Amino acid sequence: MAQTPSIPKGTRDFLPAETARRNYIFDTIREVFHRYGFQQVETPAMENLSTLLGKYGDEGDKLLFRILNSGDFLAGVPGDQLATRDSAAVVRSVADKGLRYDLTVPFARFIVQHRNDLVFPFRRYQIQPVWRADRPQKGRYREFYQCDCDMIGSDSLLNEAELVGIIDEVFRRLGLRTVVKINNRKVLAGIAEVIGQPQRITDITVAIDKMEKIGLEKVREELAEKGIPVEALARLEPLLMLSGDTGSKLLQLREILADSPAGMKGIAELETLFGYLEGFGLQTATELDLTLARGLHYYTGAIFEVKSLDEQIGSICGGGRYDDLAGIFGMPGVSGVGVSFGAERIYDVLTRLDLFPPHTGETTQLFFVNFGPREEAYILPVLARARQSGLRAEIYPDHDKMKKQLNYAHRKGIPWVALAGESEMAEGKVTLKNMVTGDQTLVTPEELIKIVGGAGINSEL
Whether the CB-CB separation of 368 and 396 falls below 8 Å is answered with: yes
CB under 8 A: which stretch of 183-191, 349-357, 387-395, 437-445 binds a copy of itself? 387-395
- Helix 261-280 × helix 185-194 angle, to 10°: 150
Q: Does 211 bind a copy of itself (CB under 8 A)?
A: no
H or E element that contains 374: helix 373-388
Our CB check for a copy of itself shows the closer of 57 and 314 to be: 57
Bridge partners of 84? Answer: none
Q: Does 372 bind a copy of itself (CB under 8 A)?
A: no
Contacts of 348 by beta carbon, 8 Å cutoff, 6+ apart = 139, 313
- Burial tier of 297 (Cβ tally within 10 Å: 0-12, 13-18, 19+): exposed
Check the CA dihedral 25-28-32-33 and report its sign: positive
CB under 8 A: which stretch of 82-90, 188-196, 227-235, 240-248 binds a copy of itself? 82-90
Our CB check for a copy of itself shows the closer of 314 and 381 to be: 381
Whether the CB-CB separation of 321 and 300 falls below 8 Å is answered with: yes
Q: Does 34 bind a copy of itself (CB under 8 A)?
A: yes
Our CB check for a copy of itself shows the closer of 73 and 298 to be: 73
Which residues ranging from 171 to 200 are in contact with a copy of itself (CB under 8 A)? none
Number of residues near a copy of itself (by CB under 8 A): 112
Phi, then psi, of 98 in degrees rounded to 5: -140, 160
Q: Does 71 bind a copy of itself (CB under 8 A)?
A: yes
Report the nearest approach of a copy of itself to the CB of residue 282 (Å): 10
Report the nearest approach of a copy of itself to the CB of residue 155 (Å): 7
State the amino acid at position 60 in one-letter form: G
State the amino acid at position 397 in one-letter form: P
State the amino acid at position 284 in one-letter form: T
Report the nearest approach of a copy of itself to the CB of residue 435 (Å): 14
Q: Which of 241, 384, 436, 442 binds a copy of itself (CB under 8 A)?
A: 384
Q: Does 425 bind a copy of itself (CB under 8 A)?
A: no
Q: Which of 57, 78, 86, 226 binds a copy of itself (CB under 8 A)?
A: 86
β pairing state of 416-419 and 430-434: antiparallel
Q: Does 359 bind a copy of itself (CB under 8 A)?
A: no
- Burial tier of 366 (Cβ tally within 10 Å: 0-12, 13-18, 19+): buried
Q: Which of 90, 211, 313, 461 binds a copy of itself (CB under 8 A)?
A: 90
Q: Does 168 bind a copy of itself (CB under 8 A)?
A: no
Which among 279, 309, 33 has a CA at the least distance from the CA of 169? 33
Q: Which of 53, 56, 91, 209 binds a copy of itself (CB under 8 A)?
A: 91
Which among 318, 292, 130, 281 has a CA at the least distance from the CA of 204? 292
Which residues ranging from 245 to 274 are in contact with a copy of itself (CB under 8 A)? none
Report the nearest approach of a copy of itself to the CB of residue 322 (Å): 16
Q: Does 75 bind a copy of itself (CB under 8 A)?
A: yes
Our CB check for a copy of itself shows the closer of 208 and 391 to be: 391
Bridge partners of 97? Answer: 48, 67
Contacts of 24 by beta carbon, 8 Å cutoff, 6+ apart = 356, 357, 360, 361
Our CB check for a copy of itself shows the closer of 34 and 450 to be: 34
Q: Does 148 bind a copy of itself (CB under 8 A)?
A: no
User: What is the C-alpha separation between 208 and 239, in angstroms, rounded?
Assistant: 8
Whether the CB-CB separation of 98 and 67 falls below 8 Å is answered with: yes
Q: Does 341 bind a copy of itself (CB under 8 A)?
A: no
Which among 393, 363, 390 has a CA at the least distance from the CA of 19? 363
Q: Which of 20, 103, 188, 253 binds a copy of itself (CB under 8 A)?
A: 20
Q: Does 45 bind a copy of itself (CB under 8 A)?
A: yes
Our CB check for a copy of itself shows the closer of 51 and 205 to be: 51
- Burial tier of 63 (Cβ tally within 10 Å: 0-12, 13-18, 19+): middle
CB under 8 A: which stretch of 70-78, 177-185, 233-241, 283-291 binds a copy of itself? 70-78
Q: Binding string to a copy of itself for residues 394 to 413, with x set by CB under 8 A, is what? A: xxxxx---------x--xx-
Q: Does 113 bind a copy of itself (CB under 8 A)?
A: yes
Q: Does 334 bind a copy of itself (CB under 8 A)?
A: no
Contacts of 237 by beta carbon, 8 Å cutoff, 6+ apart = 216
How many CB atoms lie under 10 A from the CB of residue 14? 11
Q: Does 155 bind a copy of itself (CB under 8 A)?
A: yes
Our CB check for a copy of itself shows the closer of 67 and 264 to be: 67
- Say whether 332 sits in a helix, a strand or coil: coil
